[in-house]
Amino acid sequence: MKILATYNIKGGVGKTAAAVNLAYLAAADGLRVLIADLDPQAAATYLFRVRPRVKGGGAALIRGSRELDKAIKGTDFEGLDLLPADFTFRNLDLILDDTKKPTQRLARLLRPLRDSYDMVFLDCPPGISLLSEAVLHAADLVLAPIIPTTLSVRTLDQLTEFIDGLDGHRPELLAFCSMIDRRKRLHKQIAEQLPAERKDVAAAAIPALSLIEQMAVRRAPVTTFAPRSEAARSYARLWAEVRARAG
Amino acid sequence: MSADLHNFAYMNGEQQVPRVVREALAPRYSVVPARRTRTRHRTWLDTFDWRLHRAGLTLESVTGRGPAELVLSGMAGERITAAANGARWPALAERLPSGPLRDRLKGLTDVRALLPAAKAASTVSEFRLCNDDGKTVAWLTVEHLHAAAPADADLPPRLSVTAVRGYQGQADRIARCLTAQPGVLPDGLPALDAVLATGGLAPGEYTNKVDVELSATMPGRLALAAVLRRLLDTLEANVWGTVRDIDTEFLHDLRVSVRRTRTALKLGAGLLPAGLATQYRPAFKWLGDLTTPTRDLDVHLLTFGAGAAELTSASPDDLDPFHRYLTRRRAVEQARLARALRSPRFRALVVAWRDALDGLTAPQQGPDAAQAAAKIIGRAHRRVLRQGSAITAESPPEDLHDLRKRCKELRYSLEFFASLYDPPTHRRAVRELKGLQDCLGTYQDCQVQQEEIRVIATEMLAAGGVPATALLAMGDLASHVGQRERRARGEFASRFAAFASRPAQERFRALVAGARP
């Protein structure tokens, strides 16, 4: 079972859209996939039309008093399940802090699922916190969407430093340009330069497209309602790179 | 998709199923067509004696627009699939493409072939059952089956509701709504059972056991007639498979039915009208003798691999000419047997015998079933004890062969009247006898095999072209068979002593005296 995390220190960069579409494409490829929505905003949960509620909340899940397995819901797509978010996930840092070895907790909770799933996507809230440390400790590959601006590139460097500074397990990092506005010269320039200059940046990139925003209206991965669109093709190219990298 | 399944049959053919479901679930759930309606051809496969069904499994060959597929499914959620790759039925599991499905089936079916049990064309439509968020909480499958075998018939539509993971409660609620609709029957028959029912059949019906229900007080003659009729049913059921050479068990079961019939005619002659047993005993001896050459060769071939693996001074490949010779001879004997089973003589025997059995009526006087059973079993038991006690270390093989026949007679009579006795006590008596039978069986089979190896070696040599390595390997094989024979002979005394012990005899007498009313 491979664990992939869509994560960035910055918010609003396309993490959830990437997690939802990549998870869908992975399941369409025949993998058994779980997407865990760790963000209390519950955007991924909303996109899959699942109610954002976990019995006992985040505390029950993290402390292990409720089996993770029982909280999982099937999505409308074969091979793709969802661990829904819950509003109490806003306190996951505090809950984790109350446990022993908090940074290893998430990895330990996910371990029993290894016979049931081939791939788990962790859709994480932004920021640097105890939860993000736990996510990085659990993940094999971190997928970091970055908007191609100078400040975002700086954030990527911060993320790289953060990962390098972790004790013990360190996940591999794969950044990709996201929400590229083709009308902006700087966006285009950085989106072309970055993959050429850095091995940890994918060649595939996700443009800023209204179809991607429409996911929130259609409440489904973009591939399902616009399979031939530029948006769907972009995610397919990204999935091909992610799959090759995840092994 | 997973979790519990709710099955229904929809008996009100006037109404369109999706409309009925839509109206039943509105406004809480919507019914959304999911995939294009598809038609597939389903062929259910099992062994003639339903080994898969008895193990709680169903095997199907499914053909449709895509490649043909074999699907093995179990009640506990087990599901193994494999490409059918143009498999033709009947077929032994070992002939299927290698993989988990073949491995699983081989262990269950052993020497029995898989053959079609039922066929149907299936048209399936799938629907999503969605809550007010538009989230699929369950899948509805509507299947229209048109049975093609055993009979040509349309079946009522079959509905199944499968919960999406995490939505079992809502799927249960949907199932309750559907059950409340007129014409919807919960827990419809499994598809195989429904298709078989079109021909008045049910899975698991065939057994080679003498499963007749007798009562202790019924006339002994009618009890014996019921047993003989059951044996004739089994005999007839196995004729087509023996003639078509589907697998070796058809002949085995046919042969056992003949032997049992001969035993019943011998030991129960006194219960039948004067002259009836005398009239039919030669006919069934003819039939029994017909089956012997092919069955002996079947036994040789079935144990061939194990025997070849035992060779010490030769390679298993050295036995190839011997194997080819056995296969050729079996083909000749099988053709002879098939001809005989298609002959007017055989057909006339079966028809006349059934007429004779159907014409039997209760005599004015005579023992009841319990008395008749006690007499027949008691006499067979005494004969085994008498002949067995007379056997010493110096006794010739023929004495042990005769004792084996007496043991078979006792075993068969115990089986005929099994329904009259307490099952655990009866099972124990059979188990104790079986220990002795196995020993005598091994002894005689080994003797027959050694003799046959000698005869065949002579024939192969006379025919010319046989390599010396083959003859040497056959000698090696005969030597191992000889060792098994000597081991069995050495075990006989202790086996018989256990069977003939005073406690075993007392248990036996108590069994026979304790027929249930």
| Chain B partners within 8 Å of A50 (Cβ) | 133, 135
pLDDT in tens, A137-173: 999 999 999 999 988 888 889 899 989 988 888 999 9
CA distance A132 to chain B (A): 27
Instruction: Write down the pLDDT at residue B2.
Output: 35
| Nearest-by-CA chain A residue for B134 | A49
Query: 3-state DSSP: chain B helix, strand, coil percent, rounded to 5?
Result: 55, 15, 25
Using only C-alpha atoms, what is the Rg of chain B? 29
- Rounded to an integer, what distance in angstroms lies between the CA atom of residue B58 and that of residue B35? 25
Instruction: Write down the pLDDT at residue A66.
Output: 64
A67 in contact with chain B, both atoms CB, cutoff 8 A = no
Residue B42 burial class via C-beta count within 10 angstroms: exposed 0-12, middle 13-18, buried 19 and up: buried
pLDDT at A65 over 70: no
Which of A51, A81, A219 lies nearest to residue B165, judging by beta carbons? A81
Which of A74, A78, A219 lies nearest to residue B166, judging by beta carbons? A74
Chain B contact probe: residue of A53, A70, A73, A82 with most B CBs at under 10 A: A73
- Rounded to an integer, what distance in angstroms lies between the CA atom of residue B120 and that of residue B41? 6
For B:111-150, CB contacts with A below 8 A are 128, 133-136
| Contact between A186 and A148 (Cβ < 8 Å) | yes
φ/ψ of residue B123, rounded to 5: -110, 120
Instruction: Write down the pLDDT at residue B1.
Output: 33
Q: Are A74 and B128 within 8 A, CB to CB?
A: no
| Chain A partners within 8 Å of B167 (Cβ) | 73-74
Q: Output the CA torsion B43→B49→B50→B52 (10° steps).
A: -100
Instruction: Write down the pLDDT at residue B3.
Output: 38
| Nearest-by-CA chain B residue for A73 | B166
| Contact between B181 and B482 (Cβ < 8 Å) | no
Q: Are B166 and A72 within 8 A, CB to CB?
A: yes
Instruction: Write down the pLDDT at residue B7.
Output: 72
Q: Are B165 and A48 within 8 A, CB to CB?
A: no
**Residue in the block written with tokens 């035992």:** B310
Instruction: Write down the pLDDT at residue B15.
Output: 61
pLDDT in tens, A70-83: 899 999 999 999 99
| Nearest-by-CA chain A residue for B165 | A74
Instruction: Write down the pLDDT at residue B252.
Output: 98
Instruction: Write down the pLDDT at residue B5.
Output: 59
For B:356-415, CB contacts with A below 8 A are none
Nearest to A8 by CA among A120, A92, A125: A125
Instruction: Write down the pLDDT at residue A139.
Output: 95
Instruction: Write down the pLDDT at residue A138.
Output: 93
B469 in contact with chain A, both atoms CB, cutoff 8 A = no
Q: Tell me the average confidence (pLDDT) per consecutive run of 10 residues in chain B, 517 residues long.
A: 57 70 89 88 97 96 90 87 89 93 95 97 93 94 93 90 93 89 78 93 93 95 97 98 98 98 97 96 97 94 92 92 95 98 97 97 93 95 97 95 97 96 93 95 93 93 91 95 95 95 92 79
A51 in contact with chain B, both atoms CB, cutoff 8 A = yes
| Chain B partners within 8 Å of A81 (Cβ) | 165
Instruction: Report whether the peptide linkage leading into residue B90 is cis, meaning its omega lies within 30 degrees of zero.
Output: yes
